[in-house]
Structure 1
Amino acid sequence: MAAASGDAEVLLLRDIGVADAAALLAEHGLELVGVEDGAPIPGSYWGEPEAGIIGCTVYARGDTPVHSMLHEACHLIVLPPERRALVHTDATDSVPEEDASCYLQIVLADALPGVGRNRLMADMDTWGYSFRLGSTRAWFERDAGDARAWLQARALLPA
């Protein structure tokens, strides 16, 4: 693990099974493309080491935080296919889509061995995600009903 924000450590892509992450994204019609260490990450909104997105592809390096890879993937997952194809770096300016992406990344973290929602929420807090109840967990458990309903209405939550 490496520092992503200050001295706090977050789980990195190289810390988990990259094949598991690629398989999870493939289930949603996305491709995970590895980028060599030190190389620029195509489509990265926040800059290295954060994940990037272009079309249906998520780009990440070994030092990319898992939460970043999942978040950017979820931005693509919540979009209809015709909008996905047009994405380059910035997936949305929609608050409902942003909230849905945050919610879905937490849910999908349970599908990654060695990750899980508890670790992902802690890493989101470490990185600096901001929720009005003060933490990712508080938002997810007590204030994310609109995001959950948005995802359910589009059949985007796993059964």
Structure 2
Amino acid sequence: MVKEVLSKENIHLNMEFNNKEKAIRYTGEILYKNGHVQKNYIEKMLEREKLSSTYLGNHVAIPHGTEDAKLEIVETGISVVTVPNGVDFGNGNIVKILVGIAGKGDEHLEVLSKIAIVLSEESNIEKILTAQTKNDILRLFQEVN
């Protein structure tokens, strides 16, 4: 049976981190614990961040592994972590929403485009940040099909 790309277990609300490494590690840990990636994928996410920041703007970062991390992906999945007080990603970039991605094969392109559609609307970013339940976030991402 194929896992949901985004499930309630992959959404964590109102978290706090004192640095981006802990935030990225936590985001990857969700993917690992829910069977989307092998443990080493988390290190590949941190390695990717050192190469180039995954901060996109609008308080959003999309941590993901390096190109060679594809071998560590078991099944496509995303994790969503909200950090209302923000975490510093350097250069004054404060991240309040982390979307961890692990795309099996070429599936990452489809997943990225859906995430981009959701996050391109500033109102959706606000909805994610003020979400009271995991279902609120699930609904936002499920509307994009």
Range of TM-score over shorter length: 0.3 to 0.5
Task: Using CA pairs under 8 Å that are at least 6 residues apart, name the structure with larger relative contact order, 1 or 2.
Answer: 2
Give the TM-score normalised by the residue count of structure 2: 0.32
Give the TM-score normalised by the residue count of structure 1: 0.30
Q: Tell me which structure has the larger Cα radius of gyration.
A: 1
Greater strand fraction, Structure 1 or Structure 2: 2
